Amino acid sequence: MKLLWLDLNSSYAHSSLALPALHAQIANDSTIEWCMVSATINENIGNIVQQIYHCKPDIIAATNWLFNHEQLLHIVSRAKSLLPNSSVILGGPEFLGDNEDFLRRNKFVNGVFRGEGEEVFPIWLKVWNQPVKEWSSIPGLCYLDQSGKYQDNGIARVIRFSELVPPEKSRFFNWSKPFVQLETTRGCFNTCAFCVSGGEKPVRTIPIETIRERLNVIHQHGIKNVRVLDRTFNYNSKRAKALLDLFREYPDICFHLEIHPALLTEELKQKLATLPKGLLHLEAGIQSLREPVLEQSRRIGKLDDALAGLKYLCSLKNMETHADLIAGLPLYHLSEIFEDVHTLASYGAGEIQLESLKLLPGTEMRKKAKELGIQYSPFPPYEVLQTQEITVEELQTAHYLSRLLDGFYNTSTWRGITQTLILENPHFLHDLLHHLIETNVIDNPLSLEKRGLILYNFCKSYYPDYLTQVTIAWIEAGMSLKKIPAEKVKTKRQTPPENWQIIYGTYRENLRLCFLPTDDKGNGYWFGFESEIQKIEPVFKAVTL
């Protein structure tokens, strides 16, 4: 029997764990001939279909999720037309809800799995060509029987999660990506109504020693970034501390973690503060800074505790903490989103990620959408279109605000000046947003330099007191000193003053100096550049006051 796995990802950087996770459980089964077609959603569909056709598989399998949904169906429908005797079987998050309508609309799909597949997929493979007799006993399998009746076998849960063969042992595990994913926990203690893991119980874990063995393999492959798949890393403080101690053993790896700021114990705070710089990259789930919104979303944890925890995390200099907000949550107003962005900026969040709510299949919020007054797109990514608290126009404004944050606050070059402008000027976000929309650049891809030009010209017109700070950010990013943001910079035959206050670096006579005056008395900022090497950022900075 020949099984073809269609590995369809949203971009080259991403790689699904589904294939190696499933293959690892049955890699030694000699009755299965495995083959794979790997592609991204932006590649030519005809070429992908051609590759599938030439393999002539008995089974075409794939994972269907939010961002590959449309292209995946285009591909497998064409493949099924060319290979009518092949069985198409799909799994993934898109099938956590009711699957009858999907199967009736897409008759080229023979069946879909709801839930976790490592234990049930191998069972199905033994009876894949016996749908009448055997499919009704496969947990999680949904399909239309020969009479056209919808059969729903519930949801599949892996019982022996810690005993699964790790996906890293599969020959299909992709070691060429910028990062790898390491699933240390399955399930979630939390009950968030908008999350597919909100009802995923029980929480199952892998022993620390097993994780160490897997990290050794990952380290041997030279991986520098590991995304730890744990819905709430610190739900168990004792285990979280043990994992942090384990991560310390790999100082050349950066571990990306999701952390709940409301659940930070004093012991865990102390542990986090002692970790080497750069070891952790934290994603703090916050969603909203409004108690009624969090209560309606059924998120566990008191808001006061979450804010205190987030403020602490953002204060740590040895790691960067990103915080997320979700526009479109019930009871969440646009004005509150702007206020929450200001609060997160005041905490010094490394990034502020503002996303629109998506009502995913299988979530409680999707089931109660009508009751909650939520209107959403029926097609992926199922984004909310309007609620009782936020209009269509306001959600579009939230989208634009997200673009602004990504372009300016979430970019290290412009974060400092953007944060200052936000905190010192209550109307700045609204003013810059209006400017970006009016000049028709808000949805355009903008280079780092283009963003600097926009910010400088904007401040020149509306916030002139901040021009010097924009210019400093421009210089320190290594931008051209011949362009407008450096219009006040003096570069020719600059000699050091008798006294200056060094901010960083060491002055040497062979450095090329430039001077940014801040007044007409000779005060300002000095920058030194290496003249013998191609390094465009300054290596020396000083100020005269």
Q: What is the pLDDT of residues 408-459, one digit of tens each?
A: 999 999 999 999 999 999 999 999 999 999 999 999 999 999 999 999 999 9
Q: Which pLDDT score is estimated for 199?
A: 66
Judged by phi (left if over 0) then psi (alpha if -120 to 50, else beta), residue 76 lies in alpha
CATH topology for 179-368? Answer: pyruvate-formate lyase- activating enzyme (3.80.30)
Q: How far is CA 139 from CA 26, 58, 113, 121, 144, in A?
A: 18, 22, 8, 9, 15
Strands 280-287, 2-9: parallel, antiparallel or unpaired by DSSP? Answer: unpaired
Give the start-to-end residue ranges of the domains of the chain.
2-152, 179-368, 489-545
Q: Are 524 and 544 in contact (CB under 8 A)?
A: yes
pLDDT for position 478 = 94
Overall pTM surpassing 0.75 (yes/no): yes
pLDDT of residue 545: 86
Name the residue among 426, 376, 429 with its Cα closest to residue 403: 429
Q: Provide the pLDDT for residue 534.
A: 60
Pairwise CA distance, residues 429 & 421, whole Å: 8
Which regions of the chain are under pLDDT 70? 199-200, 532-534
Decide: helix, strand or coil at residue 215: helix
* pLDDT at position 51: 98
For residues 2-11, one letter each, b for 16 or more C-beta atoms within 10 angstroms of the residue's C-beta and e for the rest, the string is: ebbbbbbbee
Predicted local distance difference test score (pLDDT) of residue 285: 83
Q: Give the pLDDT confidence score for residue 189 in this predicted structure.
A: 83
Residue-level pLDDT at 322: 96
Angle between helices 412-424 and 448-462 (to 10 degrees): 20
Rounded to 5 degrees, φ, ψ at 536 are: -85, -20
| Fold type of domain 2-152 | Rossmann fold (3.40.50)
- Neighbour-count burial for 24-54, b at 16+ CB within 10 Å, e otherwise: bbbeeeeebebebbbbbbeeeeeebbebbee
Q: In what order do the strands lie in the sheet with 141-144?
A: 33-40, 2-9, 59-63, 87-91, 111-113, 141-144, 150-152
